[in-house]
A and B are shown apart, each in its own frame.
Chain A
Amino acid sequence: MMGERPSPPARFEPVADGDLRIAEVSFLTQVNLRLDPGDPAAGDIGRALGVPLPTEPGTYGSADVDVLWLGPDEWLIVGEPGRERDLETRLRTAAGTGHVAVTDVSAQRTTLLVAGPKARDLLAHGCALDLHPRVFGPGRCAQTMLARAQVLLVARDGDEFLVLVRPSFAGYLVAWLLDAAAEHLSGQPG
């Protein structure tokens, strides 16, 4: 009955210029986790995930999933597509009787990849954060605004950023990114 899931937001021609790439990364697994980091369950969950829950604001840790700090008692666990059930179960099992909220939010955000030597310049058109590698290098993440859309911005190795955005905003954000990207593509006036 089910056909291929429609890629929710964007449906745009990916940008693959020498210095700039923009593409959609669809259907990542995303599970929202809330608990008191002082709760013993936090340690158990970290062990189950293979990486401790980061407590430094604006950072993430990685194992086979990325564990992104969203707030003092909130994380987003991001993994390959199709792992929602497995991850939810793993978290609930590890949490035991602790007071924990585990919520599958995989469809709540879609993911855009913005990468390349010009990625920071592109994002700087709409993001008020300092994205300099000294400040926002690999391992950093932030909930912020990109243009007029709320996003979760993740810095990865090699000038790569993930931009997680509500699918309802994705059409707007892609249109904005493509408009802002024009000057950073080869052969375009700067």
Chain B
Amino acid sequence: MQAKVLFLTLKTFGFTGGIEKVCRTVCRVLYDLSEENILEPTVYSMYDKNNERDSRYLHRKQFKGFDSSRKYFVFKAFLTGLQSDIILLSHVHLVNIGYLIKKIHPQKKIYLIAHGIEVWKSFPEAKLNILKSLDKIICVSQFTADKIQEIHQVPKNKIVVLNNCLDPFYHYSVDFEKPQFLLDRYQVSNQSPILFSLSRVSSSEKYKGYDHNIEVLPALLKNHPKLVYLLAGKWDELEKGRLDKLIAFHKLEKHIRLIGFIDEAEVTDHFLLSDIFIMPSKKEGFGIVFIEAIASGLQVIAGNKDGSVDALKQGELGALVDPDDLKAIQFQIENFLDHPQSKADKLNLQRKCMKTFNYANYKTALQGILLSPTLEEER
């Protein structure tokens, strides 16, 4: 008999953050396993609308969006959970539902996916107890796994690390030419080296490191006067205003373009356009954007104090720097600029990334985690 899996999420399709990307990939794994008659999935999303489903990831019969109707979501999740074998929670905010189901049916398996900052903080005792009662906590990086053990003292044998993977529909290119339409759009010469960042540009999340990139730019321009920095991502007006002032203060208007939201269809092209992807962030649970950049053959600079370390395979796939050390950031950028990649370098990097972070591996690993016996069952 196929195992019934209930996957509960906050948002999956109506937003483009890292957690949502993981949820979408998990949806596709569940769909693929349902096509192989291995399990029978149901996915509930608290905040998505039903019509927001991206039909690449899940069949319409397998998904329900509750459009912010939280009480109804909890009620339906609870009832469906009682009829499921495995309840997979995409966020620590959902553990209460898992706990209730576990209370009534202790044999149900409750798993939580732990991403990053949402679990790197202390919890009230009641929530901590719930966390410890879960059957497994699937951490997206070793960094998050270490943090959970360190902060919450969750037993090591309940923690499993499953690194995120590339989206199954991520577009790869083996032609590493800079797309002319983007050079034209941003009015950048083919000779100009391009730094690129892609993250939310939000006044409430100032840990992505783009401020530091802006600060080191004047020094970099001395040796690389044609250097251009493309800062991409959906912004809020407050942060955009602040950045505009910062750019004006450093007189960098000719060298920095705030290019805003990038449509999924053009993400790969922006990586191909660029020479270095840089995001010396401090609070990444994993940083899917890093592996997307590397999968396009791009050299990457990331922070060494968060889950980015997993995404860059401890430095094998890119450079890890102290995100607070401006000199180190500047040095690493200069190092990359002075040693531009060949096509062979890019291909090699791309291959290594895809070998490690491909969807097929992820699917097999998640299937193993979901269907392997829990500690209780082993006893």
Please determine whether chains A and B interact with each other in the same assembly: no
